[in-house]
Structure 1
């Protein structure tokens, strides 16, 4: 039997640091034993800036670890500027449509739900033009995500977005979501009538690349020294500083724990944000104006250095804003579990990651916008700093990940589901 060809539409792909880009990279490389794979994506530009080497041609053709990659040139953008972001996204959409004809012998098209709505429509385009089976991988639901944070109040816009994305769902041969609560959203969209075939497969982290390190590991100490974090008790948020996490209000809770806050063992308590995003400037401005000297912002780390920054923390935040249940699933949890860190989860009841944390007892969880309980949970972690209880909490999360949420297990499920079509 001939090896079949799978075409993947992915807005971002390595070396971009977008979490979906990393997931797609590992998925593509992990399925090369069953498929010839081509990825259509933008030139490296997750931060908005494009290197000179990617500014001269319309398309760039690369082979990365056996995966054929077609990159689309797009205009630069600023994350805080909606107009520039729209131009960037639309350029990718039409560029990807044109790039589709450059791929031969397509048996399956696989598209993720990024960019919002357009990702699904690209999958429909690929299905129709290449007469292929269409797998729609929904990482986030839109316009539900937009509505949850009031990013747009235009009923015409959000109504149109929902109609188009339901159309993409109907056209798909298979929908793959990343959480049990997201499967529920598919059912609700179609009011449990003529629901497209849907399965759930968890996202993952490569547990062979991200794992626990000793606190005195040379590279972990080097990271701490670089950002003046030596001998501190660190509560870390690592990931996108975007609209969907209620970080501005959480920061106001953090303000209660001033620079003089210490653990029972005498360590200063420090709150660290690693990443970048739409609300970063507002967070930094608030910290500056309120003289929050124990709050530190650190840029995204290179993929090869992520293990060191994650292991530098004593506790990790995993948060979503209210209304995100069934809409999005914070993949940052998998990295946190992989390094055996206890979790402070601000997540809605019934959401995929909160359910895992509760089932494994690997952290403390609280509903979004319950700021009093968030404060109490922070205090609990401070009171239990460096305790055996905290260490065991983190390792329960890792043990569950190794048994149920490894990269190989999830990728095998992807291969089996696609080949059943």
Structure 2
């Protein structure tokens, strides 16, 4: 039997961290173990900013998780709303990963994602050079395009430098893998008439065997609803990162108009936000100031509880801020479709997930910042019979089972890497 090729993955976060990219990379790595000998370089568990004491005594920690070798880097703790502490944390990972590259032996392939922005790509180039390996650059989000879209920085020098460095990483890659048709176009537009790096599209996924529809009477779903005050309510849920790229600060102002809303059968309409992120405190403050008893905030859920939290929502948000089309693809959609839930999409026309919602028929959508249409969508869902909502959600599940399963995407990754 031929010896397996060796694949090094740079992953800012990896399980047990709850970052969506960390979960995807875990399933990707474990799903390709029949083809590759895989090592992951990542940080110690720290997605929410704090670090357990057992990870504070050494610079590096070696583990093996489900057959994947994992080399963890100790990084400083951080506060998500403090830019300086976040930068220190990210740089701790970047320079730690560069040093850790010398601890993992010979590699045939180096795989890096676009997180942290710009630095993820540069790590891949570094690994390619140090290991004399083929470099696969997986772009989940384009930067500086994303930075520009949300106005995080307007410094032209910084933005120009970011673009130069990320184009540099693209050009040095042997293959770029993006996660949406609109992201492929963004890569092509970056290079215009010049030589575009080799690129393929492979959709993200969620494990459809782990996340699937449950009956409303399921004990886990009932317990979740009771625990967080959702019992006997009509729940419109947002699940995921409560961060900069989703326009949630304005969407909550629309939600305010539904303070006393009920469905046709008299259920109170509740808007539940499950997760954490850089603007959570702002939303909490707005809820308190406006006394919004129709808004609830629920902590991030462990992966084992995700099936219950997703099934506890009657309708789910899938939103992006204006300007994110072609820049980022909200992976949360795959979990919503897997759970068989109807989707209220606030997404630019032509974006990957808007196309998926339209094609599968599992929800309604409108353009970001079109608050009148967002309000109209909420009214439509509130006034739709539950049986019709379930049919809508079922369409998303059926489409996912046909075209967007984990096994299909993971197999494509392995095939494309082995072609290099």
CA–CA distance in structure 2, aligned partners of residues 264 and 88 of structure 1: 49
Match of 1:341 in 2: 341
Match of 2:43 in 1: 42
Query: Is 1:179 aligned to residue 174 of structure 2?
Result: no
Q: Aligned to 1:272, what secondary structure does the other structure show?
A: strand
Match of 1:374 in 2: 374
CA deviation string 1:390-415 (max 9, x = no partner): 11111111101001000000000000
Match of 1:410 in 2: 409
Contact 1:12 1:44 in 2 (8 A): yes
CA–CA distance in structure 1, aligned partners of residues 215 and 400 of structure 2: 19
Query: Is 1:281 aligned to residue 314 of structure 2?
Result: no
Match of 1:300 in 2: 300
Match of 2:6 in 1: 5
CA–CA distance in structure 2, aligned partners of residues 275 and 41 of structure 1: 22
CA deviation string 1:344-382 (max 9, x = no partner): 000001000000100111100000000000000000000
1:187-336 aligned within 5 A: 187-258=188-259, 260-336=260-336
Query: Is 1:80 aligned to residue 81 of structure 2?
Result: yes
Q: Aligned to 1:322, what secondary structure does the other structure show?
A: coil
CA–CA distance in structure 2, aligned partners of residues 309 and 192 of structure 1: 47
CA deviation string 1:6-45 (max 9, x = no partner): 0000000000000000000000000000000000000000
CA–CA distance in structure 1, aligned partners of residues 127 and 230 of structure 2: 49
CA–CA distance in structure 1, aligned partners of residues 193 and 306 of structure 2: 41
CA deviation string 1:247-269 (max 9, x = no partner): 010000000001x2110011110
Contact 1:347 1:366 in 2 (8 A): yes
Match of 1:140 in 2: 141
Query: Deviation at 1:2?
Result: 2.1
C-alpha distance 383-276 of structure 1, shift in aligned 2 (>3 A): same
CA–CA distance in structure 2, aligned partners of residues 229 and 324 of structure 1: 32
Match of 1:30 in 2: 31
CA–CA distance in structure 2, aligned partners of residues 28 and 63 of structure 1: 12
Cα RMSD of the aligned pairs, angstroms, is 0.6
Query: Deviation at 1:193?
Result: 2.0
What runs of 5+ residues in structure 2 fail to find an aligned partner? Answer: none
Match of 2:131 in 1: 130
C-alpha distance 54-35 of structure 1, shift in aligned 2 (>3 A): same
Contact 1:6 1:37 in 2 (8 A): yes
Q: Aligned to 1:175, what secondary structure does the other structure show?
A: strand
Query: Is 1:20 aligned to residue 21 of structure 2?
Result: yes
CA deviation string 1:48-67 (max 9, x = no partner): 00110000100000000000
4+ residue segments displaced more than 3 Å: none
CA–CA distance in structure 2, aligned partners of residues 301 and 220 of structure 1: 13
CA–CA distance in structure 1, aligned partners of residues 388 and 43 of structure 2: 45
CA–CA distance in structure 1, aligned partners of residues 156 and 303 of structure 2: 39
Match of 1:419 in 2: 418
How many residues align? The count is 419
1:164-175 aligned within 5 A: 164-175=165-176
CA–CA distance in structure 1, aligned partners of residues 46 and 389 of structure 2: 38
Q: Aligned to 2:103, what secondary structure does the other structure show?
A: coil
What runs of 5+ residues in structure 1 fail to find an aligned partner? Answer: none
Q: Which moved more, 1:230-239 or 1:388-397?
A: 388-397
Query: Is 1:98 aligned to residue 109 of structure 2?
Result: no
Query: Deviation at 1:103?
Result: 1.1
Query: Deviation at 1:385?
Result: 4.1
Q: TM-score, normalised by structure 1?
A: 0.99
Contact 1:263 1:385 in 2 (8 A): no
Contact 1:108 1:135 in 2 (8 A): yes
Match of 2:389 in 1: 390
Contact 1:210 1:339 in 2 (8 A): yes
Contact 1:8 1:37 in 2 (8 A): yes
CA–CA distance in structure 1, aligned partners of residues 177 and 20 of structure 2: 17
